[in-house]
Amino acid sequence: MRGAVLYGPRDVRLDERDGPKIVELTDAIIRLSATCICGSDLWPYRGIEAVQVPAPMGHEYVGIVEEVGSAVRTIEPGQFVIGSFFASDNTCEICRSGYQSACVHREAVGAIGTQAERARIPLADGTLVATPDVPPPDLIPSLLAASDVLGTGWFGAVAAEVGPGKTVAVVGDGAVGLLGVLAAKHLGAERIIAMSRHVPRQKLALEFGATDIVEERGDVGVARVKALTDGLGAHSVIEAVGTQESMMQAIRSTRPGGHVGYVGVSHDVELPGRELFFSHVHVHGGPAPVRRFLPELIDLIWNRVIDPGKVFDLALLLDEVAEGYRAMDERRAIKTLLWP
Amino acid sequence: MRGAVLYGPRDVRLDERDGPKIVELTDAIIRLSATCICGSDLWPYRGIEAVQVPAPMGHEYVGIVEEVGSAVRTIEPGQFVIGSFFASDNTCEICRSGYQSACVHREAVGAIGTQAERARIPLADGTLVATPDVPPPDLIPSLLAASDVLGTGWFGAVAAEVGPGKTVAVVGDGAVGLLGVLAAKHLGAERIIAMSRHVPRQKLALEFGATDIVEERGDVGVARVKALTDGLGAHSVIEAVGTQESMMQAIRSTRPGGHVGYVGVSHDVELPGRELFFSHVHVHGGPAPVRRFLPELIDLIWNRVIDPGKVFDLALLLDEVAEGYRAMDERRAIKTLLWP
């Protein structure tokens, strides 16, 4: 089968790879209906995050179940399913507390690589959620967004304790940040400040529910958020970048007693203890437990309450995966969908 | 009047200082019934935290109101009152959200120095809470504990989301850590692991409700907590030291999705972003908003439900303040009460 493989910095190729096989009795094999490129794929693509190459790429997926292992009980061939980047048993104590991305048996789907025609998904019963039926094609982008970026933005909003009457700031205007705006709107935020200096992203943020745009970054951006909040800072701040600058911008934009929900994968971040201590903010985040939110997100998408698929502003054939990476690397695209 | 003054490392003296006067119309003057030495006083005492000397010392206090400014409405001469280390208006948006120690008008009482016969307390109406009556002498140590260490341990427990059915670990066996144990017990924790290697402190921890003692620190201590919690870590961890080692011990002892409540004043702490991200823990803390808890704590002490005054294992006359500091510095005493 065909699948994307990273060979080195900025060198992604579509290769002929071995087709997936059932390895564990709890596995499922899915045929991808759609897959996509993640902002986090750009870290190894740019050579900033070291990976052993050649590396199969991709961890976002929706598709039709083709085959299941003999221990799989609830997932069946023919179902349309969505899973996320960590496979999880969904039965351990950590899963049951809502942290499936820290499941005691978790497995990284990224190591398998879902930018491909087919993929093996471990722990199928715990990981995959079936839609009510095979979806109409126009719903596929939104369902694919639920696999990671929507679930991650949603977790950022929940971790930031977004709720009715609150002012929310969002640091980062990639797909996750934009869907953090959508989540904040859905969770009842009164005011949503999107921090973005790219006009197309600002437009999408406004469409998703942002009430204010702040173009400035760093201390100037913080001062702008404070000026919009009686000098106090936002109640809730969603951090969706993962750098030192973005984390400090998030912490400093939050009022005492407020909450930072951070979902940008941390790269070379060191939080100064003394400043954090005196900031009085709550800090919570990490790899999103997308599985916690999938049933609700599928329901919202199925009933066309939310349309997170709008973050895909470029759709290509899987054959064009290299161009998909280039477009995101050069910020010509927010997020690239790939049709296998 | 007599008051303690720091002149340099390990040089605290009882000086003749000017008596306090009403400066702002919202001030009160109190005559101290008792005061004490805080673990945080040891940082400047040891010369680790730079302060401009000579520096008046002390920020914990209970006493009788002698005089109030003309704008004071609820506090009256003759009342027995308790306040905490930050004066707060208790009316601003931050105070009303429960973060009085980040009040937009806060003032540090430590700059005034309450290891003295009398003290000026700013923002009296917002800061001071009166007891139902002048207390019997045997209640004074517990009421004094509420001024800081009890309220701080309580905040640590609340920030760590301690509750029924939860396993709590407490890093630090000073007065704050020990009262974190007491708070955890009162808030319904099922299991309380006190991390301490000092026998008298272990005894007090057990008396306050600890169910397990872990003597080891660092990675070995973390492994012991995990062994006691099915390999997962505690639900809630109270950090009451403020060093890099204690913070990492707290974070690593917490299960994914669990909560670290940190109240040890941070000294040279840098939290590694990537480890924090993948730990999935919640982190919250800072200078405790003791004012939030004072009415409840006074009630519990007044009705003899809790006896936090037990942390005072040394009581001296104010004249002996230098010996009080020495005893705590040399760990001969957990906490020293001073009678003016």
State yes or no: pLDDT of A317 exceeds 90.
yes
State yes or no: pLDDT of A173 exceeds 90.
yes
**One fold for B2-148+289-339 and B153-285:** no
Contact A278 B285 (CB under 8 A): no
Which helix H or strand E contains A326, and what residues bound it? helix A321-329
pLDDT tens-digit readout, B107-122: 999 999 999 999 999 9
Q: How confident is the model at residue A201 (pLDDT cuts 50, 70, 90)?
A: very high
What is residue B49's predicted lDDT score, i.e. its pLDDT? 87
CA distance B291 to B122: 14
What is the pLDDT averaged over residues A131-136? 98
CA distance A120 to A300: 27
Looking at domain B153-285, what is its CATH homologous superfamily?
NAD(P)-binding Rossmann-like Domain (3.40.50.720)
**Interface residues on A facing B, Cβ-Cβ cutoff 8 A:** 93-94, 97-99, 101-102, 104, 230-232, 242, 244, 247, 255-257, 262, 265-274, 276-287
Residue A114 Cα distances to A58, A139, B293, angstroms: 5, 19, 52
For residue A56, what are its two tokens?
């199969």
CA distance A90 to B283: 25
Contact B283 A276 (CB under 8 A): yes
**Interface residues on B facing A, Cβ-Cβ cutoff 8 A:** 93-94, 97-99, 101-102, 104, 230-232, 242, 244, 247, 255-257, 262, 265-274, 276-287
Contact B277 A257 (CB under 8 A): no
Among residues B141, B292, B276, B76, the alpha carbon closest in space to that of A256 is found at: B292
Question: Is the CB of residue B267 less than 8 Å from the CB of residue A278?
Answer: no
Out of B99, B247, B278, closest to residue A273 by CB: B247
CA distance B55 to B9: 11
Angle at B41 between CA B36 and CA B45, to 5 degrees: 120
What is the pLDDT averaged over residues B242-253? 97
> Who contacts A202 (Cβ-Cβ below 8 Å, separation ≥6)?
A173, A194, A196, A210, A213
Nearest CA in chain B to A93: B232
For residue A37, what are its two tokens?
């490129």
Instruction: Report the relative pairing of strands A212-214 and A191-195 from DSSP bridges.
Output: parallel
What is residue A104's predicted lDDT score, i.e. its pLDDT? 98
Percent of chain A with pLDDT over 70: 100
Contact B232 A256 (CB under 8 A): no
pTM: 0.96
Contact B280 A257 (CB under 8 A): no
Average pLDDT of chain B?
97
Which helix H or strand E contains A272, and what residues bound it? strand A270-272
CA distance B36 to B315: 9
Nearest CA in chain A to B92: A232
Identify from B284, B290, B292 which residue to disrupt to test chain A contact, counting A C-beta atoms within 10 A and taking the largest count: B284
Out of B257, B265, B277, closest to residue A266 by CB: B277
What is residue A15's predicted lDDT score, i.e. its pLDDT? 95
> Who contacts B293 (Cβ-Cβ below 8 Å, separation ≥6)?
B146, B151, B154, B155, B158
Domain segments of chain A: what residues? 2-148+289-339, 150-285
CA distance B129 to B104: 19
Is the sign of the CA dihedral B180, B184, B186, B190 positive or negative? Answer: negative
Question: Is the CB of residue B130 less than 8 Å from the CB of residue B79?
Answer: yes
Out of A104, A273, A287, closest to residue B271 by CB: A273
The DSSP symbol for A36 reads: E
pLDDT tens-digit readout, A250-294: 999 999 999 999 999 888 999 999 999 999 999 999 999 999 999
Residue B1 Cα distances to A208, B22, B29, angstroms: 64, 15, 13
CA distance A49 to B76: 64
State the smallest CA–CA distance between residue B91 and chain A in angstroms. Answer: 14
What is residue A148's predicted lDDT score, i.e. its pLDDT? 97
What is the pLDDT averaged over residues B182-206? 97
Nearest CA in chain A to B231: A104
CA distance B75 to B98: 21
Domain formed by A150-285, architecture: 3-Layer(aba) Sandwich (3.40)
R_g of chain B, CA atoms, integer Å: 19
For residue A73, what are its two tokens?
């009980």
Contact B269 A273 (CB under 8 A): yes
For B2-148+289-339, CATH number? 3.90.180.10
pLDDT tens-digit readout, A96-124: 999 999 999 999 999 999 999 999 999 99
| Per-residue burial over B66-88, b = 16 or more CB atoms within 10 Å of its CB, e = otherwise | ebbbeebeebeeebbbbbbbbbb
What is the pLDDT averaged over residues B297-319? 98
Question: Is the CB of residue A157 less than 8 Å from the CB of residue A238?
Answer: yes
CA distance B249 to B215: 13
CA distance A109 to A148: 12
Higher-pLDDT residue of B51, A11: A11
For residue A167, what are its two tokens?
């002012």
Instruction: Report the relative pairing of strands B62-68 and A11-16 from DSSP bridges.
Output: unpaired
**Residue A214 main-chain phi, psi, to 5 deg:** -120, 120
State the smallest CA–CA distance between residue A189 and chain B in angstroms. Answer: 17
Average pLDDT of chain A?
97
Residues from chain A that touch B155, judged by Cβ atoms under 8 A, are none
Residue type, A54: P
Out of A231, A244, A277, closest to residue B266 by CB: A277
State yes or no: pLDDT of B180 exceeds 90.
yes
